[in-house]
Chains A and B, each alone.
Chain A
Amino acid sequence: MGAAAAGTAGTTALADAIASVEGRFGTHVLAHGDRAERRATERHIQTDSSLDALAPGLSSGAPIAFIGTGSTGKVALAHRAAAGAQRDGGTVLWIDPTATFDPLLAARSGVDLSRLIVVRAKTRDAVLLAAGAALRSDGFRLAVVDTGSPLAPCVARIDDLAPLLPIVRSSPAALLVISDTRPMRLAIPTFTVARVAWRARFGRTAGWTSLVAERALFHFAALGAESHDLGMQSALLEKTG
Chain B
Amino acid sequence: MKSYLAIAVPERAPRARILATLAAMLPRVGVADDGAFVCDLRGTERLLGTPIRVARNAVNACAASGSTRCSGGLGTTPFVARVAALRTATGTVREIAAGDERAFLDPLPLDVLPLDPKVIEELSLLGVRRIGEFLALPRGSVSDRFGHAVAIAYALATGERVEDVAITTPRRRIRAKRIWDDPVDSRERLIFALRAAADELAEALRHDGLAALRIQLVLEREELLPLRLERSLLPPSAESAAIVRSLRWGLEEITTLGLVTSATLEITAVEPARGRQIGLFAPDGAHAEEAIAVAQFLRTKLGPATVLQPRVVDAEARLPERAAEWEEVVR
> A interface vs B, CB < 8 Å?
12, 15-16, 18-20, 22-23, 27, 42, 88-91, 93, 101-104, 106-107, 113-122, 126, 129-130, 133-134, 136-141
Contacts and interface: CB of A to CB of B under 8 A. Distances in A.
Given A119-B298, A121-B306, A126-B302, 11 more contacts: A15-B193, A27-B191, A88-B282, A88-B285, A89-B286, A89-B288, A90-B284, A102-B320, A104-B315, A121-B302, A130-B302
B279 A12 contact: no
Nearest to B239: A138
Interface string B281-311: 1111111111111110110011001111111
Contacts of A42: 283
A193 B234 CA distance: 41
Contact of B192 (A22, A101, A133): A22
Given A23-B186, A91-B291, A117 B248 contact: no
Contacts of A126: 301-302, 306
**Contact-residue size bin, chain B (C-beta under 8 Å from the other chain):** 35 or more
Nearest to A9: B181
Contacts of A119: 298, 302, 306-308
Contacts of B295: 117
A136 B285 CA distance: 17
A91 B283 CA distance: 11
A129 B281 contact: no
A133 B297 contact: yes
Contacts of B284: 88-91, 141
B63 to A, nearest CB: 28
Contacts of A102: 320, 324
A64 B294 CA distance: 22
Interface in B248-307: 248-249, 278-279, 281-295, 297-298, 301-302, 305-307
A42 B283 CA distance: 10
A133 B180 CA distance: 28
B231 to A, nearest CB: 15
25 contacts: A15-B193, A15-B196, A16-B189, A23-B188, A23-B189, A42-B283, A88-B283, A89-B282, A89-B284, A89-B286, A90-B285, A102-B324, A104-B323, A113-B310, A117-B309, A118-B310, A119-B302, A120-B305, A121-B302, A126-B302, A133-B298, A136-B245, A137-B290, A139-B288, A139-B291
B126 interface: no
A137 B288 contact: no
Contact of B290 (A104, A106, A116, A139): A139
A104 B249 CA distance: 34
B214 to A, nearest CB: 20
B241 interface: yes
Contacts of A90: 284-285, 287
Sorted from nearest, which 10 A-B pairs have the closest CB atoms? Answer: A89-B282, A89-B285, A139-B290, A139-B291, A103-B310, A90-B284, A103-B324, A91-B291, A89-B284, A19-B192
B309 A114 contact: yes
Nearest to B302: A126
A119 B295 CA distance: 9
Contacts of B324: 102-104
Contacts of B291: 91, 93, 117, 137, 139-140
